[in-house]
Structure 1
Amino acid sequence: MAGNTPSDAPSAPSRPERKSLANALRTETVGGVVLLAAAVVALVLANTALSGLYEDVRDFHFGIPALGLDLSIGHWASDGLLTVFFFVAGIELKRELVDGELRDPRAAALPIVAAVCGMAVPALFYLAVNASGGGDLNGWAIPMATDIAFALGVLAVVGTHLPSGLRAFLLTLAIVDDLGAIMVIAVFYTSTLNVWALAGAFAGLALFHTLHHRLGVRGWYFYVPLGVAIWALMYNSGVHATIAGVAMGMLLRAKTRPEEESSPAERIEHVVRPYSAGLAVPLFALFAAGVSVSGSALADAARQPEALGTALGLFAGKVVGIFCGTYLTARFTRARLSPDLAWADVAGMSMLAGIGFTVSLLVTELAFTGSPETTEHVKAAVLVASFAAALAACVLLRIRNAKYAKLARHGSAD
């Protein structure tokens, strides 16, 4: 039959096609769209007749029990694949510290203060709601996080004429925010500690540093097996395994030598980012965002202090913390807002930072391990609050974008 001929069989993408796809996934817009699509698919699967199949797949266990790695597919996504995302975040942080906004304390002062206030105030919102409502205080860190992929993706879509300084401010803020989330996960969400496994992970990181910095070894076939071993040891130590990804990203050399066109950190980030944006983060979202969003489920979540505190922390706490922290720092210190930016731009960016999603969903799973119902309700709150923050930010930033576009047209006419 004609349909069975080899010429009719689907062919693998050509090298130019693969290159085009990888370049697309490196852009914030496409990465954000893929992440959003994965979350929508998860919600559809969890709220239709396919919910039973979805849960069976998510909870299916496989691995190597002898190595302490018998995990469900959902945990492989959150503890394993998400390590790739944190690896890229670690590289971004290293590059910012070495050759970016964080290198100059004066330029970094405002976004750093904004990030700290944007973590502290949402946590206080959560604690206030749950202390008065008798909720579980262990989820205080959930509304602290800002999702880099989503926030920058939305900004790229709506901010075609916004000042470039706004993106730099948001990127620096989000990176510092991620660093804070990483520290919180490592310190506050480590229940038991296996000292020997942790020592093994540190020994692996020391070997990673020696191979990379002192011996100049470049072959991926050395680093991938070593990275997997470090990750497995970190997982078995009790410290969340994604910390291994951050540590390895931070250990990469970010300075360019005279004989190099780019640094190893830049080259490796260029290679790994499409896998993070196109595979690791969407698969995590696929298995983490599948919660019930029926009217009754949302009503139950609205009555639960943990969910309410999370939603208020992300939607209101982020805006209050970031905007007020930035304004007061500029008002009472020598730190100054970029002359290209207006305070209305900062307000829109503050709303955008309320998109918690990836890290917020991860912390939710860590905070309420013994309460599946609370986990589901808080995840729903994260999704609703993130969507509301994105919508509010889009409205304000579109208004600002129209103003800057008008100024650009007038400038061209002049």
Structure 2
Amino acid sequence: MALLLVGVVLLASGYRLRRSVATAEALREAARQDLATVIDALPVAGMLVGPHDEVLRNNPQAEADGVSRGSRVGFIDLLDRVRAVRESGEGFTGQLVRERDPVTPMTEFQVSVLPLTAGHVLVLAEDEAEARRVDAVRRDFVANVSHELKTPIGAITILAETIEAAAADPDDVTHFARRLQQESTRLGELVTQIIELSRLQSFDPMLNSEVVDVPAIIEDALARTRESAEARKVRLVSGPAVATHVVGDRWQLTDALVNLVQNAVNYSDPGARVAVTAVRSRREGAEVVEIKVADNGIGIPPEDQERIFERFYRVDHARSRDTGGTGLGLSIVRHIALAHGGGVAVWSRPHQGSTFTLHLPAHDPEPDPAVARTTP
């Protein structure tokens, strides 16, 4: 009887041991999966290195930056650092340089190498050159903003002083007051567009998402630009617009079209025509809506067409000053298009005109069940 009892106890102990081992293994596997998920989601290069220097997990950025090469650590200085961290058990944060090779250029990385359990090492690396490039773009943007703000502010100051000096002449006061109002309006538009562009470059630029009727936003955009077009003697027309929908922020999409139409008006001569149409088509196997804004204006030289969507880039500075352009409208259009999963393109020839095409993913709303039931 005693032997039987001992056997039962040993059997139960063995069962508990196996269950504990299985539980521990399951927990370890869950931890590995969680770590893999984190590595995949990292915005920088990340990889998990095993106890024998093999890369067990990496993300696409690690391969793109040359931090990993398949199952191998990407460059020798990083491998040496991984081994040192594994041996010492102490993490490392600092800069490492990957020397130029036939495949990749020389790159300076900000690296964190962290020891884990069982000889595993986690590596995070960020391309310092890219970070410096982003910082340079930011500084350039601030410099451009400062320059663009200085022009209308300076003009407002001079005009205010001129009005004060011409107080005895009502005609002069009226003339300069009108110019002062124009410069104030330009300054207000510039500040508004800078704020809009900054928000569009944020993490989540779309404020409100809804099903948007494309013909309706075309009509809204034409209504908002009609007065300006009439002042320049430019005719606005809307061609065929298919009854189609997209999903997005209605106000942003309308603003994008307003910018495209206003740009066409500004760069068209009196008597010109600006047409807005919408069609459905397929791009890379997906249904899209293409909204085209076409003019027969002065056109854009080929060397400028790649740059017109950059912030503050102007093809004709004199004309931009005359029309009150800020140089931000087309950049805003591009960011709105990207925020909605689409894009914007241009076709143009000097002295023949331009066509801007805003393409967005098409959306087919579900039919109303009540309407479907009453349809014979």
Same-fold call, TM > 0.5? no
Structure with greater strand share of residues? 2
* Larger RCO (CA within 8 A; separation ≥ 6): 1
The interval holding the TM-score normalised by the smaller chain is under 0.3
Select the structure of larger CA radius of gyration: 2
